[in-house]
Chain A
Amino acid sequence: QVQLQESGPGLVRPSQTLSLTCNVSGGSINSDYYWSWIRQTPGKGLEWIGYVYYNGNTYYNPSLKSRIHMSVDTAKNQFSLKLTSMTAADSALYYCARESVTNNWFDPWGQGTLVTVSS
């Protein structure tokens, strides 16, 4: 059973870059799935950030595209998110999730990691 686990700093200073990693266990990242990042805030609900495919191909949410970089490390079976120029509006619970290419549903999700932007 595939499990995902996010890791990264809980606190980021304004204007800095957020770096998060999602470790994949119980299955290979070298498979026909999109590896996604999604965030959740009380005010804006769930927001899809983007995905990376095992070959490195990416697609990002157009509203965040200029600030995002995603990558995959097949040797470590993990994928990563970098989000630049962080502001308070980026404070959220960040999830990684696997999306089926064929059935288009997110499953499983990681437990989520809370990121707060504050000086």
Chain B
Amino acid sequence: NFVLTQPHSVSESPGKTVTISCTGNSGSIVSNFVQWYQQRPGSAPTTVIYEGIQRPSGVPDRFSGSIDSSSNSASLTISGLQAEDEADYFCQSYDDRNRVFGGGTKLTVL
């Protein structure tokens, strides 16, 4: 079974930078697209990064994505943290044709 592992929670102060990791237990995360979704309380998820590094229009450039093939992982970095960034973040990729989500990371902006 393909599993994407994320830290359960991270916290950082406003104005700082935080990075959330997403590690695959098999296969190659590099060759499969990785998406990142932001979910605020009571709302549906919205995409902040797709194809590992692409940002949808309307998403601030404070959000960036990267891939590390050596560790089979993807990362979401949020710089200049703002209170509105406090949310759950999920990574998502593929296992053959099956779509798989990470367990989610709760970001707290202190």
Residues of A in contact with B (beta carbons under 8 Å apart): 36, 45-48, 59, 61-62, 95, 99-100, 103-112
Contacts and interface: CB of A to CB of B under 8 A. Distances in A.
B98 A61 contact: yes
A104 B104 contact: no
The CB with the most chain B CB atoms within 10 A, among A48, A59, A95, is that of: A48
Interface stretch (B15-23, B44-52, B70-78): B44-52
B79 interface: no
- Chain B facing A: main interface SS: strand
Given A104-B94, A105-B35, 17 more contacts: A45-B90, A45-B104, A46-B92, A46-B104, A48-B101, A59-B97, A61-B99, A62-B98, A95-B45, A100-B50, A105-B33, A105-B50, A105-B51, A106-B47, A107-B46, A107-B47, A112-B44
Interface residues of B, number: 22
A109 B44 contact: yes
B90 A46 contact: yes
Contacts of A62: 98
